[in-house]
């Protein structure tokens, strides 16, 4: 086991820690975290609107009451999930500029960075085509002057635009920082108010951003495509891999391989997957059946925290022979119910512990498989709404699937299966600690 730990440290922990430290990655992670509030609020109104689909006896009541104003309150969902790319572009532009300002000592304004990123993103949204020697705005039944309207508003400003928002935000901030670093800016006297000076400082970078984006966009249009379609190709490939069962197994292996050597694997790996699970969430809300969506992790896999340790926590709290395990277990029950298990991971410990490493890897892979195939085979409804990640076992799955009791039962089954996987290993570890405690008495 020591050899395995050393291999994980050398070939996984080091490279992943370096990737997580990249300025661009940290900005994207910040955008994913910032979007949580809006996805949860928007999803609440969506779940409320589809309750009669699950509880049919409510249909008549809703028709006579809430559905009379549903076009009003469902705007909350459309203004969150329907405009999610816009939230991403604002946060990434702001955070990426702020990181450069603080760490590279460049006199840039995070506010300007955010606004320039939004500017660049909107330059890409309208659909264009090349015909008869001219670049023209595309129009048809759903597209007016290049702007395609979907069920939640402008189509490209929703989850389908997240990847373009990421690329354009990073590109824009790089251009902005380069202009400021090379002094390609208009400098105003110190007596000029800060807001006015900031606007003029961003003037030349704004022209540079417009020029670069228009050249890129125009080139793609001349070739019969556009930025959205080009960016979608590699990200669609990544999304397809992540949505497969094998891809999920790799994801959960990487998360727990990092945890086992003391790195917060969930924060690092899931941050890269936020655009994918949010896009899948939107697709499920529109009728798709994608297992890996929304809070799939915390609804079915991370029950009790990474590694699915809720059953383990309850066992050591009430059935362990070792005094130290019982004390630790009882102290960890409350946070464990809300999917927080750092006390278990570092206190048991699971990190660098050869007795518990195998079930720590095995449990989430088994429970993820259970949930994946249950949804894939239509035994359980897919997740259509975002829920707070600390939602207790069963509750998060029930709400996220808009009230499917089978999802709640599946989540509780995952807790039981996870406990069974940990049981033989934790018994050996418990007996070892008990013997050590007895020998010191």
* Of 46, 31, 21, residue with least CA distance to 385: 46
* Of 358, 374, 381, residue with least CA distance to 414: 374
Read off the pLDDT of residues 158-193 as tens digits, 9 standing for 90 and up.
998 999 999 999 999 999 999 999 999 988 777 778
Read off the pLDDT of residues 320-356 as tens digits, 9 standing for 90 and up.
999 999 999 999 999 999 999 999 999 999 988 889 9
Give the pLDDT score at 114.
97
Joined tokens for residue 385: 């709404």
Q: Residue 39: which H helix or E strand, with range?
A: helix 23-54
- DSSP result, 367-381: HHHHHHHHHHTTSSP
Q: Please, is 133 exposed, middle or buried when counting C-beta atoms within 10 Å of its C-beta (0-12, 13-18, 19+)? A: exposed
Number of CB atoms found within 10 A of residue 269's CB? 22
Which residues does 188 contact at the CB level (< 8 Å), separation at least 6? Answer: 196, 197, 200, 201
Give the pLDDT score at 266.
87
For the chain, residues with pLDDT lower than 50 are: none
* pTM score, whole prediction: 0.88
Give the pLDDT score at 441.
61
Question: Does residue 349 have a cis bond before it (omega within 30 degrees)?
Answer: yes
Distance CA 376, CA 386 (A): 19
């Amino acid at each position: 086991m020591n050899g395995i730990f050393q291999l994980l440290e050398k070939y996984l922990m080091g490279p992943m820690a370096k990737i997580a430290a990249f300025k661009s990655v940290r900005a994207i992670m910040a955008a994913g975290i910032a979007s949580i509030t809006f996805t949860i609020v928007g999803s609440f109104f969506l779940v409320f609107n589809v309750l009669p689909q699950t509880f049919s006896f409510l249909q008549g009541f809703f028709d006579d009451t809430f559905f009379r104003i549903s076009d009003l309150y469902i705007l909350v969902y459309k203004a969150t999930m329907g405009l999610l790319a816009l939230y991403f572009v604002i946060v990434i532009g702001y955070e990426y500029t702020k990181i450069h300002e603080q760490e590279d000592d460049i006199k840039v304004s995070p506010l300007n960075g955010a606004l320039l990123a939004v500017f660049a993103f909107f330059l890409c949204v309208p659909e264009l085509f090349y015909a008869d020697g001219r670049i023209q705005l595309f129009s048809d039944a759903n597209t007016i002057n290049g702007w395609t309207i979907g069920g939640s508003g402008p189509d490209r400003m929703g989850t389908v635009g997240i990847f373009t928002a990421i690329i354009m935000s990073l590109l824009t901030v790089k251009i902005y920082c380069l202009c400021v670093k090379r002094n390609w800016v208009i400098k105003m006297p110190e007596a000029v108010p800060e807001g006015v000076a900031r606007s003029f400082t961003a003037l030349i970078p704004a022209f540079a951003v417009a020029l670069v984006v228009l050249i890129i966009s125009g080139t793609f249009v001349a070739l019969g495509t556009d930025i959205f379609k080009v960016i979608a190709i590699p990200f669609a490939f990544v999304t397809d891999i992540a949505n497969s069962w094998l891809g999920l197994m790799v994801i959960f292996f990487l998360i727990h391989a990092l945890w086992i050597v003391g790195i917060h694997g969930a924060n690092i790996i899931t941050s890269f997957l936020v655009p994918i699970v949010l896009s899948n969430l939107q697709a499920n809300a529109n009728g798709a059946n994608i297992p890996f969506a929304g809070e799939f992790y915390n609804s079915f896999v991370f029950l009790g925290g990474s590694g699915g340790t809720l059953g383990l926590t309850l066992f050591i709290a009430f059935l362990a022979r070792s005094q130290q395990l019982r004390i630790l277990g009882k102290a960890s029950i409350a946070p464990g119910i809300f999917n927080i298990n750092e006390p278990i991971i570092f206190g048991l410990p699971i990190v660098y512990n050869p007795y518990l490493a195998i079930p720590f890897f095995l449990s989430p892979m088994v429970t993820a498989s259970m949930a994946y195939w249950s949804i894939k085979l239509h035994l359980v409804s897919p997740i259509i709404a975002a829920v707070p990640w600390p939602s207790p076992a069963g509750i998060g799955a029930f709400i996220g699937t808009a009230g499917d009791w089978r999802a709640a039962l599946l989540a509780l089954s995952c807790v039981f299966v996870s406990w069974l996987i940990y049981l033989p290993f934790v018994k050996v570890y418990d007996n070892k600690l008990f013997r050590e405690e007895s020998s010191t008495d």
